[in-house]
Chains A and B, each alone.
Chain A
Amino acid sequence: MTTTTTDNLKKVIDNTNLTMGATRAEVEEFVTASVKSGFVAVCVFPNMVPTARRITAGSKTKLAAVVSFPLGADTADVKRYEALNCIDLGADEIDMVINVAEARMGRFDAITAEVKTVKNAIGKGHILKTIIEVPLLTEDQVTGAALAAEKGGADIVKTSTGFKGLKLRATTPEDIKLLRSILKPQTGIKASGGVSTLEKSLAVLQEGATRIGTSSGNAILDAAK
């Protein structure tokens, strides 16, 4: 592979540490390595935002925090509050889980409403990614949820939490292909959940993903060198 490949990968990888119970020292080490590698963003839990902020401040790497993670089973008000709290603490971007039950019931207007609530609260200056949990949805529900999130003002539609407790299947290039075929060109797509190798990363990018969420960012870069 080439320098161009690694540079391009750095620009799209949200290097992610969502390890349950990770210590502050572990998160500090992870964020420091992520900043050094120059990833576009590093993604952490809300309780790690202040710790991560001290390291990302002044760097090119944005700080993303997850909201209503991993179940998405909160009211829109709680999601709004948690997102604003993360922004106040120094997060640049928000990765919010939608109400997946509403998607499974086909109530897409409710998803538009909650996404709009959060997007209006954090404002245009902060990227909002909405996790629609593709592995739990039918193709029709994926389409409905993705379009509803886009309509609500999501900057990026993100495929999955990758939460191990739910034993979710991995995101596939086909998932990205479907999303790319329905979303507006200016709406980004983040492939996450089981995207942990260079081969898989290149495959999802080929289908139109604009970001990759992975806990293996540095291993992917190493493989590309």
Chain B
Amino acid sequence: MIDASIGGTPAATEAEMLNFFESIHLDKNKFAAVMVEPSYVKWAADYLHARKQKLVTVISYPLGAMTTVAKVFQAEQAFADGADEIDIAMDLSAFRSGDYQQVLDDLRTVRRTAGDRVVKAIPYTALLTDQECIKAAGLILDAGIKFLKTNPGYGNVTTPHHIAVIKKHFKDDLKVMASGGVKTYEDAMAMIDQGADRVATSSVVAILDGSSKR
């Protein structure tokens, strides 16, 4: 139930990406998905798929400020290049402007590019009140997206409270992935205790080591 990403290495080179893939031992570990940036999807798809590992990439990431048509083009390219899942950043400006119809239309339109594939939407829970978290999650669900990814990382930290607020309200209707600041086995377990269905982390090795010591 982990989405694994390299993290910590901005603009990673191919050699750094390969080191990361090797560090998470795909021969013995299987992750829900391995995250790579859009420009690396084509390059990474064969490697990951040969190891029976799904690949997720990110749309309008990490700031959520692209137009809908550009998001659609980016998502179509990602699927053509071999992505199995996409994580879409919500239009936070439209949300904060109270333009919920725009938020909904944007997510719904991009969601359609994915067919039956897993799609997650990122509402930036670190920047929202509890009430706004529930409002954003409701829009995500209305857009036909059944999976919420709390934050994009880059300093936006998810707390177990965010997970509790959303899961308590939506229960099994909406899956939730805790993302942003999940660095240790204890962090991951605290999210799962509140109902998180997945965790995203760039600290896979630390979390697996923590788990094996139990």
The verdict on B124 contacting chain A, using a C-beta distance below 8 Å, is yes
User: Does B73 belong to the interface (CB within 8 Å)?
Assistant: yes
Contact of B77 among A18, A69, A77, A104 (CB under 8 A): A77
A82 to B93, CA, bound (A): 18
Given the contacts A47-B91, A71-B62, A24 and B38 also touching, CB distance less than 8 Å: no
A21 vs B128: C-alpha distance when bound (angstroms): 11
B63 & A74 in contact (Cβ 8 Å cutoff)? no
Cα-based distance from A57 to B50 in the complex (angstroms): 53
Interface SS, A side: helix
- In chain B, positions 20-52 with a C-beta closer than 8 Å to chain A are 37-40, 42
Is B66 part of the binding interface, using a Cβ–Cβ cutoff of 8 Å?
yes
B61 within 8 A of A: yes
Whether A85 touches B69, Cβ cut-off 8 Å, given contacts A21-B93, A23-B97, A104-B13, is yes
The range of chain B's interface size is 35 or more
State which size class the interface on A falls in.
35 or more
Do B39 and A47 touch (CB < 8 A)?
A: no
In the complex, the answer to whether A101 meets B66 with C-beta atoms within 8 Å is no
Is B92 located at the chain interface by the 8 A CB criterion?
yes
Cβ contact within 8 Å between B93 and A23: yes
Which of B38, B64, B66 is the one whose CB lies under 8 Å from A20?
B64
Complex: how many Å from CA A217 to CA B12? Answer: 33
Q: Is A8 an interface residue (CB 8 A)?
A: no
List of B residues within 8 angstroms of A70 by Cβ: 62-63
By beta carbon, the residue of chain A nearest B61 is A71
What B residues does A103 contact at CB under 8 A?
A: 11
Residue contact B69 to A45, C-beta cutoff 8 Å: no
Contacts of A35 in B (CB 8 A): none
For A24, list chain B residues within 8 Å (CB).
93, 97, 99
Is B65 part of the binding interface, using a Cβ–Cβ cutoff of 8 Å? yes
Q: Is the CB of A78 within 8 A of B77?
A: yes
Chain B residues within 8 Å of A, Cβ to Cβ? 10-15, 37-40, 42, 61-67, 69-70, 73-74, 77, 81, 91-97, 99, 124, 127, 153-155
User: What 20 additional pairs, Cβ within 8 angstroms, besides A22-B93, A73-B39?
Assistant: A18-B65, A20-B63, A20-B124, A20-B127, A22-B96, A24-B93, A45-B93, A46-B67, A47-B66, A71-B62, A73-B11, A73-B40, A75-B42, A78-B38, A81-B70, A101-B12, A101-B39, A101-B40, A104-B11, A105-B14
